[in-house]
Amino acid sequence: MRAIPLLSLLLSGWFIVPAHADEAQDWLTRLGQAEQQQSFHGTFVYERNGSFSTHNIWHRVQNGQVRERLLQLDGSAQEVVRIDGRTQCVSGTLIAGLGEKNQDQKKRSRKY
């Protein structure tokens, strides 16, 4: 008799997974649309290999053009300005990383 409640619990979990996947896909779709339509400003914390950094972001959409400015608030001063996803200006220690622009994808993905 113990198997019946356990079986129903397992089966109910199996039927719920596609609903969560659809919901997650919906969120990602809406996020992608919002990025092209809405302006915002905020602060976020970024973690990479156990190292944390705090950044300000300004994201402005005007006349169909997306402008972004990222500013590192702690550590060495670093700033990136992008227009329509293309980097326009880089400052600070990020300039040294521009030589890595042509690295293959596998090498870059190992860094993260």
The domain in which residue 68 lies consists of 39-99
The answer to the question of residue 59 being in a domain is: yes
The pLDDT tens digits for 4-58 are 555 555 555 555 556 677 888 898 898 888 888 999 999 999 898 999 999 999 9
Buried b (16+ CB within 10 A) or exposed e, 16-39: eeeeeeeeeeeeeeeeeeeeeeee
Examine residue 106 and state whether it is found in any structural domain, yes or no. no
Residue 5, domain member (yes or no): no
Asked if residue 80 belongs to a domain, the reply is yes
Asked if residue 75 belongs to a domain, the reply is yes
Look at the block and give the residue holding tokens 């702690």: 74
Q: What is the pLDDT of residues 62-85, one digit of tens each?
A: 998 999 999 999 988 889 999 998
Provide DSSP, 20-87: HHHHHHHHHHHHHHHHHH--EEEEEEEEETTEEEEEEEEEEEETTEEEEEEEE-SSS--EEEEETTEE
Task: Specify the 3-state DSSP secondary structure of 15.
Answer: helix
13 assigned to some structural domain: no
Does 74 fall in a domain? yes
Classify residue 72: in a domain, yes or no: yes
Which CATH number belongs to the domain containing residue 65 in this structure? 2.30.140
What's the pLDDT at 108?
46
DSSP β-ladder status, 65-72 and 86-91: unpaired
Report the domain count for the chain. Answer: 1
CA 39, distance to chain mean position in Å, is: 16
